[in-house]
Amino acid sequence: MNWLALIGARALAMLGGWGRAAIFFVDLLAALPASLRRFSLVVVQIHAIGNRSLLIILASGMAVGFVLALQLYNTLITFGAAESLGLVVNLSLVRELGPVVTALLFAGRAGTSLTAEIGLMKAGEQIAALELMAIDPRQRVLAPRFLAGIISMPLLAILFSAIGILGAWLVAVGLIGIDAGNFWSIQQNAVDVWRDVGNGVVKSAVFGVICTAVALYQGYETEATPEGVAYATTRTVVISSLAVLGADFILTALMFSAPR
């Protein structure tokens, strides 16, 4: 009967973990109004986790734009549809690659730094010190970071897509020789600001919630040891990435399943 008890214990531990995560998330939401009242704390965090992620986001966006233009041109030319290159690049970026790749990069760059920061604050008893000073660490430390993540992610995703489109333009017009007017006008005609760009922004805001909440939870719940913090940062990347990919499928199905 030992294996039965083992399965039961594992199931209980898993349910307990989900329960703690759910309570943590509700607490985080409840602490948001307080951080709105002290928005200066949020601005500092937007600088720390948003502004400092700019370089990797812009570099990756440019590289993705370059490669998309090259790869899609090779395929589209086979069907005589090379003029659609701008449109395909744009839709790929604003609907999918922008939000998803930005979220994956965000989890690796900003998510790990959030987890390590909160984990080390816990290990250094700074979180306990706040508690004993009658300052709620959820309001003072976690909520401003959470809000900053939700605000930063769509901005970063928009920049990723914009720089990606510029990269694709450089390759398509400068290198391949596609007509520049055609490249831009087909986008202007076929890309809808609400359906395509708007849904992409909504997606990235959802990914912002997921990545930041996971990173903060992992930091807050970490075992306060060097191994614990290392393990928590790894878990942040793995869980955030899988959750983003799963949520992306659901959101895509909800947003784009019906043809226009």
The angle formed by the CA atoms of residues 73, 75 and 81, to the nearest 5 degrees, is 70
Residues that bind another protein (CB under 8 A): 124-126, 128-129, 131-136, 140
Quote the least distance from Cβ 127 to another protein, whole Å.
Answer: 9
Q: Is 195 left (phi over 0), alpha (psi -120 to 50) or beta?
A: alpha
Quote the least distance from Cβ 24 to another protein, whole Å.
Answer: 15
The Cα 55–Cα 76 span in angstroms is: 31
Q: Maximum CA pair distance of the chain?
A: 73
Quote the least distance from Cβ 124 to another protein, whole Å.
Answer: 6
Looking at the Cβ atoms of 96 and 136, the one nearer to another protein is 136
Quote the least distance from Cβ 130 to another protein, whole Å.
Answer: 9
The angle formed by the CA atoms of residues 99, 44 and 40, to the nearest 5 degrees, is 115
Looking at the Cβ atoms of 62 and 140, the one nearer to another protein is 140
Looking at the Cβ atoms of 73 and 220, the one nearer to another protein is 220
Quote the least distance from Cβ 137 to another protein, whole Å.
Answer: 11
The angle formed by the CA atoms of residues 108, 114 and 118, to the nearest 5 degrees, is 145
Here the tokens at position 232 are: 């928590």
Whether 205 contacts 153, CB under 8 Å: yes
Here the tokens at position 157 are: 């995703």
Looking at the Cβ atoms of 63 and 128, the one nearer to another protein is 128
Looking at the Cβ atoms of 125 and 192, the one nearer to another protein is 125
